[in-house]
């Protein structure tokens, strides 16, 4: 009786290994698609230091500076603490302070504190919020530090006592957006766990695959595709946010500038992903060519 030809044990598992490797690459890419944006949001929006660093350049924009200073000065209630005739005399001093606010030595620190107070206001637990903020459902900016800086300047120049309010709130979003922020604060940190899962999936794909250059090339192509999808998603989200008007000129300007800064910040991550994807694709193709030549030789 004739015997069947012997088969290499490694060849018996080749289809299964290829399937598992491809499945691991797809899983890693799916996890990465969510992990990268989530990590960026957690690092640059949910975390106070990241938010302050991202929004800090807004305080240097001339148009935004002027409108923000005007709004800060307009919020000072001179009628409540200064008699009517004297209040009229103080008004020119207030207008002068508005024009020179951004040139004051304490402006950079006041602007940073404005960002940090606003971040705490929007990302704090509801039970810790002040009554005015707790009743609001939109994203809120607290410009009290800037108002305090103007108040101090006017009091020194006019020689009259002015008391700065503890809070000066400006709504910069639509209703019910605070609930969205609460969800983002909860789910954004999950991105780190997803990133670890993606790394494990990619490692498994490399360990299982018989042709590792195909895995590298596949991950590279996937990274390039994700970069394109993230770019489209970022543009869509930016247009959606900017397209909603709050009715407050200062709030809308802040929103536009912050969205632009966020788009640019995430854009650098997208570029890094695209470069990484291109490098992995090139490395995989080169490894495949070298391997093919070695087998022929």
Residues 217-272: tens digit of each pLDDT: 999 999 999 999 999 999 998 988 877 766 667 777 888 888 899 999 999 999 99
* Residue listed under structure tokens 């604060």: 185
Q: What is the pLDDT of residue 134?
A: 47
Q: What is the pLDDT of residue 175?
A: 60
Q: Angle, nearest 10°, between helix axes 144-158 and 107-123?
A: 140
* Residue listed under structure tokens 């990619």: 202
Largest CA distance in the chain: 120
> 104: buried, middle or exposed (CB in 10 Å: 19+, 13-18, 0-12)?
middle
Of 22-31, 82-91, 100-109, 136-145, where does the model show the most confidence?
22-31
Worst-scoring range by mean pLDDT, 45-49, 63-67, 80-84? 80-84
* Contact between 284 and 213 (Cβ < 8 Å): yes
Worst-scoring range by mean pLDDT, 100-109, 121-130, 151-160, 246-255? 121-130
Beta bridge partner(s), residue 169: 142
Q: What is the pLDDT of residues 174-207, one digit of tens each?
A: 666 667 788 888 899 999 999 999 999 999 999 9
Evaluate if residue 92 carries a pLDDT over 70.
no
Name the pLDDT band for 123 (thresholds 50, 70, 90): confident
pTM: 0.81
Domain boundaries, the chain: 13-47+184-296, 65-181
Residue 248 neighbours by CB under 8 Å, 6+ apart: 170, 171, 172
Handedness of CA 247, 90, 58, 140 (dihedral sign): negative
CA–CA gap between residue 226 and residue 266 (Å, rounded) = 13
DSSP conformation class of 189: T
**Which of 159, 36, 22 has its CA nearest to residue 89?**
159
b/e map 76-101, b = 16+ CB within 10 Å? bebeeebeeeebeebeebbeebbeeb
How many distinct helices (H) and strands (E) make up the chain?
A: 12, 2
Three-state DSSP state, 140: strand
* Contact between 22 and 215 (Cβ < 8 Å): no
């Amino acid at each position: 009786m004739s015997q069947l030809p012997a088969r290499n044990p490694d060849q018996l598992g080749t289809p299964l290994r290829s399937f598992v490797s491809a499945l691991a690459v797809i899983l890693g890419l799916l996890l990465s698609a969510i992990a990268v944006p989530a990590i960026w949001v957690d690092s640059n929006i949910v975390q106070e230091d990241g938010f302050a660093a991202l929004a800090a350049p807004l305080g240097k924009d001339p148009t935004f500076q002027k409108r923000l200073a005007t709004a800060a000065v307009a919020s000072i209630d001179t009628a409540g603490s200064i008699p009517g005739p004297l209040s009229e005399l103080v008004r020119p001093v207030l207008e002068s302070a508005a024009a020179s606010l951004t040139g004051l030595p304490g402006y950079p620190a006041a602007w940073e504190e404005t960002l940090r107070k606003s971040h705490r206001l929007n990302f704090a637990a509801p039970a810790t919020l002040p009554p005015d903020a707790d009743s609001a459902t939109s994203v809120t900016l607290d410009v009290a530090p800037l108002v305090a800086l103007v108040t101090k300047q006017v009091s020194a120049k006019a020689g009259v006592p002015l008391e700065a309010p503890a809070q000066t709130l400006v709504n910069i979003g639509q209703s019910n957006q605070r609930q969205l922020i609460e969800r983002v604060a909860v789910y954004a940190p999950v991105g780190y766990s997803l990133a670890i899962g993606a790394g494990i999936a990619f490692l498994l794909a490399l360990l299982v695959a018989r042709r590792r250059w195909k895995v590298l090339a596949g991950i590279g192509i996937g990274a390039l595709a994700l970069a394109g999808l993230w770019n489209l998603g970022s543009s869509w989200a930016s247009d959606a946010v900017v397209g909603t008007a709050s009715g407050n000129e200062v709030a809308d300007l802040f929103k536009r500038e912050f969205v632009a800064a966020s788009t640019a910040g995430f854009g650098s991550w997208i570029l890094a992903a695209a470069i990484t994807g291109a490098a992995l694709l090139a490395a995989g193709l080169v490894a495949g060519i070298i391997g093919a030549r070695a087998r022929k030789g």
